[in-house]
Amino acid sequence: MYLRELQDMAAEGVHVASSQELAQRTGFSSEQIRKDLAYFGAFGTRGVGYDTSLLEAEIRRILGLQRGVKVALVGAGNLGTALTRYSQQEHKDVRISVVFDADPAKVGQEIEGLRILPAAEMGRVIREMAIKVAVLAVPGEVAQAVLDELMDAGIEAVLNFSPVKLRARPGVTVQNIDLTMELQSLVYYTSEAKGTEEEAILPDAAAKGGQDGRL
Amino acid sequence: MYLRELQDMAAEGVHVASSQELAQRTGFSSEQIRKDLAYFGAFGTRGVGYDTSLLEAEIRRILGLQRGVKVALVGAGNLGTALTRYSQQEHKDVRISVVFDADPAKVGQEIEGLRILPAAEMGRVIREMAIKVAVLAVPGEVAQAVLDELMDAGIEAVLNFSPVKLRARPGVTVQNIDLTMELQSLVYYTSEAKGTEEEAILPDAAAKGGQDGRL
DNA sequence: ATTTGTGAATTACTTCACAGCA
DNA sequence: TGCTGTGAAGTAATTCACAAAT
């Protein structure tokens, strides 16, 4: 979130930002921001604030976004296509660089200039391209099998859109995004649910605009 | 997450579950599960466990999922199409019931049997259908304007896919899902980032398989 | 004069451990 | 005997408040 904010500020021509300003823009407290940043190093100047372009560079370095990171997409459905479009246009830090699909009808077609490759070539290509991050946008039934293949191919982090609990080996991170669950949770914040639950005052994580590790 | 687990158990013919069993299946601790559930009421039987179908019904009631909840989708791009497909097939608790798009070329086309309606009719239709939940899958530039219209039409909860900080009125919940951010964060859990950051031992929220308020 | 970086205080969350029930 | 529901204990996260720095 800081990274996006800093990019916006750069576009606006702002060169220095105090934790107070960042607080206003992000909705977090200024102390929180200082703690977050100080955890990784002393990036600010006392009495002045943070140099936005320097801080942006530091966050890029911390996240590992220095040079363009290549991502593999498995599953070229609507969701996969949407993700590919997103990743190609906006920034070029992280980019979907290969797309795989099991459906022979899709293989050979193009998404944003990327040719869809057959599932059979997945392991080899990922290894050859030394890709470490993958997006899993396949049906739940095959998700675990695909993940196993991806891990064999050296994938270290996966963004999983299938509504299935995946078993990952130690050292492999799986981040889940469950669209059905998100939709269901939303209803809770609606008058339909509130009417039923008298005392349901939950911490409003939702209001803050955070991702909480979700997409 | 509990709801999904309970549905799976029902499909397997399991009628009673202890917090211990739920713990194994979800990855949370059994105490956590008991605390979570006890917050909303005493749904279990001491010495036995939780009746799965009763607990499922309770969670449905808590979330407000009793009868089919109608959801409006704004933006019929790839992402919107993917979401509509998801919501139509699996469960019918929450369902995308209307689709709007500003593009005249898309208006009149169908997604999963739903005719795409013009943006101009959005407010009226949402009011008439008494829809309270909306999914925002529009370009960032127009997201705030669309949200304003949605709030005027009585929308109370929004799932936002545009990478923009939205200003919502009190009483309106906005849940953000930022695909670009998710992809960027993933890289951190990769050897590319780990090599750079010596001491970066973060709480592994990612490993738990949680949504953290994210989709 | 202003803002960072950070220990100390506070608040929130999780785990422990057990009384209360079936 | 077995498992829930829940105060108490322990751990983690956030906020306070101020010395250090420019």
Which tens digits make up the pLDDT trace of A16-70? 999 999 999 999 999 999 999 999 999 999 999 999 999 999 999 999 998 889 9
Q: What is the pLDDT of residue A202?
A: 45
Instruction: Write out chain B residues lying below 8 Å of A212, CB-based.
Output: 205, 211-214
Predicted confidence band at A197 (pLDDT cuts at 50, 70, 90)?
Answer: low
Residue nearest to nucleotide D17 (CA to C1'): A31
Predicted confidence band at B197 (pLDDT cuts at 50, 70, 90)?
Answer: low
Query: In what side-by-side order are the strands of the sheet with B16-17?
Result: B16-17, B49-51, B44-45
With a cut of 90, say whether residue A90 has pLDDT above it.
no
Residue nearest to nucleotide C21 (CA to C1'): B46
Q: What is the pLDDT of residue A20?
A: 98
Alpha-carbon span A38 to A32, nearest angstrom: 10
Min Cα distance B138 → chain A (Å) is 12
pLDDT averaged over chain B?
89
Mean pLDDT of B75-95: 88
Q: What is the pLDDT of residue B114?
A: 96
Q: Give the one of A63, A81, A86 whose C-beta lies nearest to B187's C-beta.
A: A63
Q: What is the pLDDT of residue B202?
A: 45
Q: What is the pLDDT of residue B191?
A: 82
Alpha-carbon span B186 to B181, nearest angstrom: 9
Backbone angles phi, psi at B162, to 5 degrees: -85, 140
Mean pLDDT of B105-134: 97
Q: What is the pLDDT of residue A68?
A: 86
C-beta atoms of A178 and B85 within 8 A: no
**8 Å CB contact between B114 and B81:** no
Q: What is the pLDDT of residue B209?
A: 36
Helix B30-40 with B2-12: angle, nearest 10 deg: 100
Q: What is the DSSP letter of B51?
A: E
A105 CA, C13 C1': separation in Å? 50
Predicted confidence band at A100 (pLDDT cuts at 50, 70, 90)?
Answer: very high
Q: What is the DSSP letter of A66?
A: S
Nearest to residue B177, comparing CAs of A202, A215, A48?
Answer: A215
With a cut of 70, say whether residue B195 has pLDDT above it.
no
Q: Which nucleotides of D are covered by protein (CB under 7 A)?
A: 1-7, 12-17, 20-22
Per-residue CB contacts under 7 A with strand C, chain A residues 6-65:
17-20, 30-31, 34-35, 37-38, 42-50
* Residue A87, token pair as written in the block: 């990743």
| Higher pLDDT among residues B213 and B137, named by residue | B137
Summarize pLDDT for B57-78 with one digit per residue, the tens: 999 999 999 888 999 999 999 9
Task: Give this prediction's pTM.
Answer: 0.90
How many other C-beta atoms are found inside a 10 Å radius of the C-beta of residue A148? 14
Q: Which amino acid, one-letter code, is at A148?
A: D
With a cut of 50, say whether residue A200 has pLDDT above it.
no
Q: What is the DSSP letter of A205?
A: G
Nearest to residue B35, comparing CAs of B53, B22, B52?
Answer: B22
Residue nearest to nucleotide D15 (CA to C1'): A31
Q: What is the pLDDT of residue B137?
A: 97
Instruction: Write out chain B residues lying below 8 Å of A94, CB-based.
Output: 180, 183-184, 186-187
Alpha-carbon span B55 to B66, nearest angstrom: 13
Mean pLDDT of B121-142: 97
